[in-house]
Amino acid sequence: MSGTLVLVRHGQSEWNLKNLFTGWRDVDLTDQGREEARAGAEKLKARGVTFDIAFTSALQRAQKTCQIILDVLGQSGLETIRNQALNERDYGDLSGLNKDDARAKWGEEQVHIWRRSYDVQPPGGESLKDTGARVWPYYMHDMQPHVLRGGTVLVAAHGNSLRALIMALEGKSGEEIVKLELATGVPIVYRLNADSTVKSKDVLD
């Protein structure tokens, strides 16, 4: 038996709009972000997707994205598990800083390394490797069993927590993951084989 795993990065947040490093800061969605979540949900609806369980982070931008998707699908009351293991990478001392100001201060290359490299920690924060060290075990223990039982599982989370999950799911290297960018509100539909490997991947953009 194989199941389905749908990953969605939250819609645009207030700090995405303001171009600020966000990390664990708990900012709301913008109107555009709510619209992106609705549009992503309509694509799932058009394909007849319904979920058996949903997972989201401890942060409101992911939780609200999750709820909007479930509302559109007519599944408002679905069991939804919130866990900070799915939170965005902790950006440490960069949290709240403007990304262009950071580039002006530390240089384009250094900021890109902090944002997209695998194992370099931003000052006082988590590397993608550190983020993966909490996301992956959580996936293995709490989410994957539902998928392997044939379930359809929604995960509404964050750019970097999902990059860490995708890296492990697809077996991407530390170099390959540097290039992976996730659009806000766009569902990524994975079908898994019974041995937990990826059977197919469909990006609903």
Residue 55's SS3 state is strand
Q: Which is nearer to ligand 2PG, 175 or 195 (CB)?
A: 175
* 115 binding ligand 2PG? (CB under 6 A): yes
Judge residue 170's burial from the number of C-beta atoms within 10 Å of its C-beta, 0-12 exposed, 13-18 middle, 19 or more buried.
middle
- Residue 134 interacting with ligand 2PG (CB under 6 A): no
- Alpha-carbon gap, residue 161 to 57, rounded angstroms: 9
**Candidate segments 15-23, 127-135, 165-173, 197-205, binder of ligand 2PG by CB under 6 A:** 15-23
Q: Should residue 75 be labelled a site residue for ligand 2PG when binding is judged by CB under 6 A? A: no
Reply yes or no on whether 88 is catalytic.
yes
Considering the candidates 88, 126, 146, 158, report the single residue annotated as catalytic.
Answer: 88
Of 134, 121, 112, the C-alpha closest to 181 is: 112
Closest alpha carbon to 47 in 165, 187, 147 = 187
Asked if 16 is part of the footprint of ligand 2PG (rule: CB under 6 A), the reply reads yes
Regarding 67 and contact with ligand 2PG (CB under 6 A), the answer is no
How many residues touch ligand 2PG (CB under 6 A)? 9
Cα separation, 19 vs 98, in Å, equals 6
Residues that bind ligand 2PG (CB under 6 A): 16, 21-23, 88, 91, 115, 159-160
